Structure 1
Amino acid sequence: MSITDRALLLIGMASLTDLSKAGETNYPRWVSIKRGKARVGAEEIEILGKLYPQYRWWLSTGEVMPEVGQTSPECDEANQAG
């Protein structure tokens, strides 16, 4: 899974309104990104990291470090199910 794929996963989990309020990226741009009409940029990655601080490391690297509170949506889901 690429950083773009990870970003799109988080965008899919979030409210576009919340994303718009979390940074400088406006609502129409988030809609375009979500629909695949625009690419995720560095600014959007930073906003996602702000909105989901527990996923920052995973978002950037694809790795988790649960010992320091850095997980992924999949890890969190597995822990809730187990």
Structure 2
Amino acid sequence: MSEGISARGLRLLDMASIKKLTELGSTDYLRWQNIKRGKARLGADEVEILGKAFPSYRWWLMTGEVNPELKQSSPDSDEPAG
């Protein structure tokens, strides 16, 4: 079974700076911390912010697939994100 959008979002959150994510959108630092610690669920606004933080992973974040033709990769893909 493949991981869902929430699991993919949490993977990106582990790779990100919470401070940078806070600057990219309206989600505050405390909420990001709570999501990372499993005390809150990742919402649509946070998924959108993660897409801004990781533009080459947007397609993967939403679908779980890579699309090299569009320079869309994943954290563990062998395809370069461009």
Partner of 2:19: 17
Structure-2 residue corresponding to 1:28: 30
Any stretches of 5+ residues in structure 2 without a counterpart? none
The yes-or-no answer on 1:41 pairing with 2:43 is yes
Distance 1:79 1:7 in 2: 20
Question: What is the count of residue pairs matched by the alignment?
Answer: 78
TM normalised by structure 1 equals 0.91
Contact 2:73 2:79 in 1 (8 A): no
- CA 1:79/1:67 → structure 2, altered by over 3 Å: closer, same or farther? closer
* Two-structure CA RMSD over aligned residues (Å): 1.2
**Moved beyond 3 Å, runs of 4+:** none
Identity of aligned residues (%): 55
TM-score by length of 2: 0.91
Tell me if 1:4 matches 2:6: yes
Distance 1:50 1:16 in 2: 13
Between structures 1 and 2, the one with greater helix share: 1
